[in-house]
C-alpha cells in the first residue's frame, strides 16, 4: 500500500471513530472527567473499541468502555450499536448489571456483536461509592488521591452473547475526596511495556490528570497496528465548582466586566473554547439589553449570575428591575440576540413584576480528540500473525500475538486437529503474547457450554502460562483453561 492510500485509510478511520465516540466529556460540578483515545498512525481499518460517559438523572455518573470483536466497517457499526444499547439501559434503569444484561440479549441476536466485552462503573458523589460490573472486560482502576493505582477485583461474567450473562454481578468500593476511578481498554491491560499501577490521580489545582496522560503516552507507543487505546476517568472533587454572582450596574464598562468575570469562571470549569465563546457572547448581549432597556430610575440593579447544574448544564442569568422595550418591527434590530441564541442550547427572556430575567442554558462538554500516534516499539515488517504448530495428532500450539485477522486461520486448524469436532484435543496458548477480542470470542465459543457457534462438539482443553497476560485475559473472560 502506497503512502497516499495509507493516509487516506487513516483519515477514514479517524473520521469514523469521531462519529462512533461521544461528542465530548461532560463538565460537572462534583467530578473532573478526562479521557484519551489513541490509535496507531498506520491504522487502515477501524476496530470495535468505544467509550461513553453518561450523566444519570439522579446525578450519578457512568463510565463505559467496551470492544466489539473484529476489525473493519461492520465491527465499527456493531460498536456504535452496542454503545447505544448500553447507554439506553443505563438511562432506563441506572444499573450496571441491568445494562449488561440488556446488551447480552442484543449480542445473542446479532452475530457480529457476540463476544463483545464491556465494563461499566457508576459513581455516586453523595454516597461516595463506585459501583461497577464487567462482561469479559478488565475491571476499573481506583486512583486514590496521592497514592498508587489499584486494580479492583473482577466481578465475573464472560463476553456478551456467549451464554455467560447469568454470571454478571456488581461490586462496590468507597471513594474519598480527590479519588478517581479509571476504565481502560484491553490494550492497556495486556501491555507488558508499562507498569500501569504507576499512574496516580495527582492532586492540587491542576485537574488535568497529568499522571494519567503520561501513562497513556507510554502505552500508546506500544500499540499494535490493529489495536486502539482508550482511557476514561472521573475524579470526585474536593469541593463543587463555585457559582458566579456579579453586580454590573456600578461598573463603568458593565459588558466588558461581564465578559471578563464569566470568562474567568468558565476557564475554571475547563469549558471548551467553543463553549466559552458562545456563552460569553450570549451573556454580553443580555447584559447590553439589560443596561440599555432594563435599568430604569434610581434602582438600576443589573446582576449576572451563573451556576453549573448537576447534569452539566450551565444556567446564566441577567437580572434587572426594569422592563425591556417591546420588540421593534425594524428587521435590522435584534440581530445580536438572534446570533447569541444560535450559539447556545437555549436563550430566553421572562418579564416579571419586579423586572426582567434573561437567561441562557447550555450543556458544557469537553472534546476528546481521536489521536494518532507513532508506535515507538514497532520495527521492521509487521508480523505475519500467530504461528500455529500441530505438536501432536490432536494438539495445537499457538505462538505470538493472536490478532483479529488470525481467527479464521486458527479456527480452521483447530477444526482439522479435532477432526471436525469429533475428538478431544488440547490447545496450548502458553506462548501467546496477547489475545485480541476476536481471539477471545473464538476461545469462548470453543469452550462455551451452549456451543454458541454450533460448530465444535468435542472437548477442547486450553493451557496457558501462569501469571501471563494471556492467563489474566482468560480469567477475566471466563474461558475455561488450565495453567502450566
Give the per-residue SS3 of 52-89: EEEECCCCCEEEEEEEEEEECHHHHHHHHHHHHHHHHH
- What is the rounded average pLDDT of the residues 65-85? 94
What pLDDT, on the 0 to 100 scale, is given for residue 417?
A: 87
Sheet with 395-402: list strands edge to edge. 387-392, 395-402, 425-435, 460-464, 482-483
Q: Which residue has the cell 496516580?
A: 200
Q: What is the DSSP letter of 57?
A: T
What pLDDT, on the 0 to 100 scale, is given for residue 224?
A: 76
Task: For residue 50, give the C-alpha cell.
Answer: 468505544
Q: Looking at per-residue confidence, does 229 or 355 come out higher?
A: 229
- What is the rounded average pLDDT of the residues 25-39? 92
pLDDT level of residue 207 (50, 70, 90 thresholds): very low
Using the predicted structure, report yes or no on whether residue 324 has a pLDDT greater than 80.
no
pLDDT level of residue 451 (50, 70, 90 thresholds): very low
pLDDT digits (tens, 9 = 90+) for 344-398: 999 998 887 778 889 999 999 988 888 888 876 555 555 568 999 999 888 999 9
CA dihedral 437, 438, 443, 445 (to 10 degrees): 110
What pLDDT, on the 0 to 100 scale, is given for residue 6?
A: 58
- Number of Cβ within 10 Å of residue 169's Cβ equals 14
Q: Cβ(442)–Cβ(411) under 8 Å? A: yes
- What is the rounded average pLDDT of the residues 187-207? 52
- Using CA atoms, how far apart are residues 142 and 359, in angstroms rounded to an integer? 39
What pLDDT, on the 0 to 100 scale, is given for residue 328?
A: 56
Domain with CATH 3.30.565.10 in the chain: 244-326+334-365
Helix (H, G, I), strand (E, B), or coil: what is residue 211? helix
Q: Which of 193-202, 364-373, 458-467 has the lowest mean pLDDT?
A: 193-202
Q: Cβ(79)–Cβ(110) under 8 Å? A: no
The dihedral sign for the CA sequence 53, 150, 17, 270: positive
pLDDT level of residue 194 (50, 70, 90 thresholds): very low
Sheet with 313-320: list strands edge to edge. 244-247, 302-308, 313-320, 355-363, 346-352
Nearest of 429, 431, 445, 455 to residue 477 by alpha carbon = 445
Note the CATH architecture for domain 244-326+334-365.
Answer: 2-Layer Sandwich (3.30)
Q: Cβ(464)–Cβ(470) under 8 Å? A: yes
Using the predicted structure, report yes or no on whether residue 453 has a pLDDT greater than 60.
no
- What is the rounded average pLDDT of the residues 164-175? 82
Using the predicted structure, report yes or no on whether residue 219 has a pLDDT greater than 90.
no
What pLDDT, on the 0 to 100 scale, is given for residue 10?
A: 83
Q: Rounded to 5 degrees, what are φ and ψ at 115?
A: 95, 0
Using the predicted structure, report yes or no on whether residue 199 has a pLDDT greater than 50.
no
Chain mean pLDDT for the chain: 84
Q: Which residue has the cell 446488551?
A: 103
Using the predicted structure, report yes or no on whether residue 252 has a pLDDT greater than 50.
yes
pLDDT digits (tens, 9 = 90+) for 265-317: 999 998 999 999 999 999 999 998 888 765 555 556 889 999 999 999 999 99
What pLDDT, on the 0 to 100 scale, is given for residue 378?
A: 56
Q: Rounded to 5 degrees, what are φ and ψ at 161?
A: 80, 5
Note the CATH architecture for domain 3-240.
Answer: 4-Layer Sandwich (3.60)
Q: Which of 102-106, 193-197, 320-324, 469-473 has the lowest mean pLDDT?
A: 193-197
Domain with CATH 3.60.40.10 in the chain: 3-240
Class of domain 387-483: alpha beta
What pLDDT, on the 0 to 100 scale, is given for residue 60?
A: 95
- What is the rounded average pLDDT of the residues 143-159? 86
What pLDDT, on the 0 to 100 scale, is given for residue 198?
A: 44
Task: For residue 350, give the C-alpha cell.
Answer: 421572562
Q: Looking at per-residue confidence, does 175 or 292 come out higher?
A: 175
- What is the rounded average pLDDT of the residues 208-223? 76
What pLDDT, on the 0 to 100 scale, is given for residue 195?
A: 45
Q: Which residue has the cell 473493519?
A: 72
Amino acid at each position: 500500500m502506497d503512502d497516499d492510500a495509507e493516509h487516506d485509510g487513516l483519515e477514514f478511520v479517524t473520521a469514523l471513530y469521531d462519529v462512533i465516540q461521544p461528542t465530548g466529556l461532560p463538565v460537572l460540578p462534583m467530578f473532573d472527567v478526562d479521557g484519551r483515545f489513541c490509535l496507531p498512525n498506520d491504522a487502515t481499518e477501524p476496530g470495535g473499541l468505544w467509550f461513553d460517559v453518561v450523566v444519570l438523572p439522579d446525578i450519578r455518573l457512568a463510565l463505559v468502555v467496551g470492544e466489539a470483536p473484529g476489525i473493519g466497517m461492520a465491527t465499527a457499526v456493531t460498536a456504535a450499536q452496542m454503545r447505544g444499547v448500553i447507554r439506553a439501559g443505563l438511562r432506563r434503569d441506572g444499573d450496571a448489571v441491568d445494562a449488561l444484561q440488556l446488551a447480552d440479549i442484543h449480542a445473542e441476536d446479532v452475530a457480529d456483536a457476540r463476544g463483545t466485552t464491556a465494563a461499566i462503573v457508576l459513581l455516586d458523589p453523595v454516597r461516595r461509592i463506585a459501583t461497577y460490573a464487567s462482561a469479559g472486560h478488565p475491571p476499573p482502576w481506583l486512583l486514590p488521591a496521592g497514592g498508587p493505582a489499584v486494580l479492583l477485583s473482577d466481578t465475573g461474567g464472560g463476553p456478551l452473547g456467549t451464554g455467560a450473562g447469568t454470571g454478571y454481578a456488581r461490586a462496590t468500593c468507597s471513594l474519598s475526596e480527590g479519588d478517581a476511578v479509571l476504565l481502560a481498554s484491553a490494550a492497556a491491560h495486556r501491555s507488558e511495556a508499562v507498569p500501569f499501577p504507576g499512574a496516580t490521580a495527582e492532586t492540587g489545582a491542576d485537574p488535568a490528570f497529568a499522571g494519567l496522560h503520561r501513562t497513556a503516552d507510554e502505552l500508546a507507543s506500544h500499540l499494535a497496528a490493529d489495536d486502539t487505546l482508550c482511557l476514561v476517568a472521573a475524579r470526585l472533587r474536593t469541593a463543587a465548582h463555585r457559582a458566579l454572582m456579579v453586580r454590573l450596574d456600578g461598573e463603568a464598562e458593565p459588558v466588558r466586566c461581564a465578559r471578563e468575570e464569566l470568562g474567568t469562571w468558565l476557564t475554571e470549569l475547563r469549558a471548551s473554547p467553543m463553549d466559552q465563546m458562545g456563552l460569553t457572547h450570549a451573556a454580553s448581549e443580555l447584559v447590553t439589553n439589560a443596561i440599555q432597556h432594563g435599568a430604569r430610575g434610581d434602582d438600576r440593579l443589573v446582576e449576572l449570575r451563573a451556576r453549573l447544574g448537576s447534569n452539566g448544564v450551565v444556567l446564566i442569568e441577567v437580572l434587572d428591575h426594569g422592563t425591556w422595550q417591546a420588540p421593534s418591527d425594524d428587521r435590522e434590530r435584534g440581530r445580536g440576540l438572534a446570533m447569541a441564541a444560535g450559539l447556545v442550547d437555549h436563550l430566553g427572556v421572562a418579564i416579571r413584576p419586579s423586572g426582567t430575567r434573561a437567561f441562557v442554558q447550555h450543556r458544557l462538554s469537553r472534546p476528546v480528540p481521536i489521536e494518532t500516534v507513532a508506535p515507538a516499539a514497532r520495527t521492521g515488517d509487521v508480523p505475519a500473525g500467530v504461528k500455529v504448530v500441530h505438536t501432536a495428532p490432536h494438539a495445537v500450539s499457538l505462538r505470538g500475538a493472536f490478532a483479529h485477522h488470525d481467527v479464521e486461520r486458527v479456527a480452521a486448524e483447530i477444526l482439522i486437529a479435532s477432526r471436525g469436532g469429533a475428538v478431544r484435543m488440547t490447545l496450548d496458548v502458553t506462548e501467546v503474547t496477547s489475545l485480541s477480542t476476536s481471539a477471545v470470542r473464538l476461545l469462548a465459543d470453543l469452550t462455551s457450554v451452549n456451543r454458541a457457534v454450533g460448530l465444535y462438539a468435542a472437548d477442547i482443553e486450553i493451557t496457558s502460562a501462569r501469571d501471563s497476560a494471556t492467563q489474566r485475559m482468560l480469567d477475566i473472560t471466563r474461558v475455561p483453561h488450565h495453567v502450566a
